[in-house]
Amino acid sequence: MDELKNTDLLDANIGLENIDPLDIADLLTKLEVSFHIKFDNTALKQVQTFGDLCDMVANKVEGFNTNDCTTQQAFYKIRKAILDTQDYDKEALKTDTSLEELFPRQQRRQLVKKFEHILGFKTQILQMKGWLLLLLVSAFLASFVTLFFSKQIGFGCMVLSFIGILIYSKLGKEFNLKTVGQLAKKISREHYNKVRRNPTTVNRIEITQKVKELFKEDLDLEESVLTRDARFS
């Protein structure tokens, strides 16, 4: 992983040249978690293109190959977790069902916590209000300027704003997704192995798409950028 951290992303025609290698390294960690695999530095030396990375992931994932849909299985897992934690009509729960409807604001954090306990992993679907996050981040950045005038006040403001960000991020009740279908896609790419109905099976055809989805969502890339020939070096 250190090799990719130190790699210069060059090809301007591909569009990966502006991606921070550290962000690439973070994505590799997420791939390890999602597909329950482990990269090693020796193998990563051979990774030159996005296609190479997709092939490596597909080769590392263990299991019998099937043609079933992991996102669909993620939906069923979500549905079961919701029905196990609250009284909701099974037939009414669809991919376009609103998360706001499933998790009323008054009890949202408690319900999401129970829901995640049944799932067996964190979903990271709650956040603080956008304006509050912006305010706290602005205060944190402003504290750096204050340091030039008063180290004591600047440092104090820095600590308080940082603590505020930590506290409110854990108390946030705003969804960063809208529907059950969006949540199914999210957990199928971030927890691929765990949402599989049978973790000893894998759909190798869809692995490349799941890797693309992680890159698109985390790095805000267009799918057209993520060709097999897109180079990391």
- Work out the pLDDT band at 146, boundaries 50, 70, 90: confident
Q: Which of 19-28, 65-74, 151-160, 162-171 is predicted with the least confidence, judged by mean pLDDT?
A: 162-171
- Checking if the pLDDT of 115 tops 70, the result is yes
Tokens of 224: 């057209």
Give the tens place of pLDDT for each residue, 5-61: 444 433 334 456 667 888 888 999 999 999 999 998 888 888 888 999 999 999 999
Beta bridge partner(s), residue 104? none
DSSP assignment of 31-74 equals: HHHHHT----HHHHTT--BHHHHHHHHHHH--SEE----HHHHH
Beta bridge partner(s), residue 64? 201
- Work out the pLDDT band at 166, boundaries 50, 70, 90: low
Tokens of 180: 């059950």
Helices (H), ranges, the chain: 2-5, 21-35, 41-44, 50-60, 70-85, 99-102, 108-119, 130-146, 151-171, 180-190, 192-195, 204-219
Mean pLDDT of the chain: 85
pLDDT of residue 158: 78
pLDDT of residue 48: 86
**Which candidate, 189, 230, 183, 190, places its Cα nearest to that of 209?**
189
Residues of 172-200 as b/e, b for ≥16 C-beta within 10 angstroms? beebebebbbebbbbbbbbbbbbbbeeee
Q: How far apart are CA 1 and CA 173, in angstroms?
A: 35
- Checking if the pLDDT of 108 tops 90, the result is yes
Looking at per-residue confidence, does 8 or 166 come out higher? 166
pLDDT of residue 23: 87
Tokens of 78: 């979500």
Question: What is the mean pLDDT of the segment spanning 146-155?
Answer: 79
Q: Which of 122-131, 132-141, 190-199, 206-215 is predicted with the least confidence, judged by mean pLDDT?
A: 132-141
Question: What is the mean pLDDT of the segment spanning 150-158?
Answer: 80
- Ordered by start, the domain boundaries in the chain are 12-66+199-232, 70-127+178-197, 130-169
Tell me if 40 sits within 8 A of 232, measured CB to CB.
Answer: no
DSSP strand pairing (64-65 vs 201-202): parallel
Looking at per-residue confidence, does 3 or 188 come out higher? 188
**Which candidate, 194, 233, 232, places its Cα nearest to that of 210?**
194
Give the tens place of pLDDT for each residue, 177-219: 999 999 999 999 999 999 999 989 999 999 999 999 999 998 8
Rg of the chain over Cα atoms, rounded to whole angstroms, equals 21
pLDDT of residue 148: 78
pLDDT cut 70: percent of the chain above it: 85
36 burial type by CB count under 10 A (0-12 exposed, 13-18 middle, 19+ buried): middle
